[in-house]
Structure 1
Amino acid sequence: MDAIFEKVEQDWHISSYDVAEELGIEHKTVLAHLKENGYTKKLDIWVPHELSERNLMNRVLICDSLLRRNETEPFLKKLITGDEKWITYDKNVRKRSWSKAGQASQTVAKPGLTRNKVMLCVWWDWKGIIHYELLPPGRTIDSELLRTTDKIKARS
């Protein structure tokens, strides 16, 4: 058992098959011992890049500085944030039909994929949503829509 755990501790990505082969034991035995001691196989978490200790400390210092600045000059309440999201939808409607008790429902071929999509644009501040807009089909964010955003900012 110790040899199994030693292999796993040396290389967290080693497969249970490789451990069994290297130690000359049954694969099921390796799995049983790992499971018995609380080991499970999980996917690694992707991060954009590893941060050094210095990078982490800089982030903490900057965040602390911004929070202190916000206490004297509440700039965070002046921020307006916006985002957009494509929303897909179908106009397919299933119909009901009469059938006698014990009879199966009528079968109707499912219509092909006719996905329509519309863009939802939302702007919010520290209190919540201040404006949202469903853009007409086929329209995306452009300079005209951004001028609308400037008008929204002026109102708040």
Structure 2
Amino acid sequence: MSEIPIHIRHCILYEFQLGNNAITAARNICAALGEGAVADRTCGDWFKRFREGDISLEDRPKSGRPLESDIERLKVLIEDNPRLTTRELSAILGCNQSTMDRHLHEMGKVNKLDTWVPHQLTSNNIQQIVTGDEKWVLYVNHTRKHQWINSEDLPEPEPKNDLHPKKLMLSI
């Protein structure tokens, strides 16, 4: 834990032992350490804890799930089956789907679409594949639809293309 919160907690305990209330303590601490050093609510929470008899200045244990074990388990699940969805992973690990998505991104994982092939290709199949494509390319291609104009102006209309534009077949 940083030294500053511990120092502020010592100041809160001192104010509590002097018999001040939480708001007065917060104002005194802010006057000494600077505006915004501690909130009234924070002093109130610590005063409540001190009144219960707990004068330790350490944080109480948090009630969340252990993060490291979830990440390790997530890595194992992804290695076993990389096709699991975030919904399935969140159901298995018992946490939120957006948390699962965040953990996957922190691990450097991205969701990519598979390419479908009807069967496993051998090296002979791959050598026999002929790749090529044909595409009509227009000579005149003025089809920009976005215009940078002032917010109060209307965009200029774009006339419709000719019915039979000049074009060329590009074959690869």
Q: Which one has a larger percent strand, Structure 1 or Structure 2? A: 1
Q: Which has the higher contact order (CA 8 A, sep 6+)?
A: 1
Give yes or no for TM over 0.5: no
TM-score by length of 1: 0.40
Q: Which has the larger radius of gyration?
A: 2
Q: Which one has a larger percent helix, Structure 1 or Structure 2? A: 2
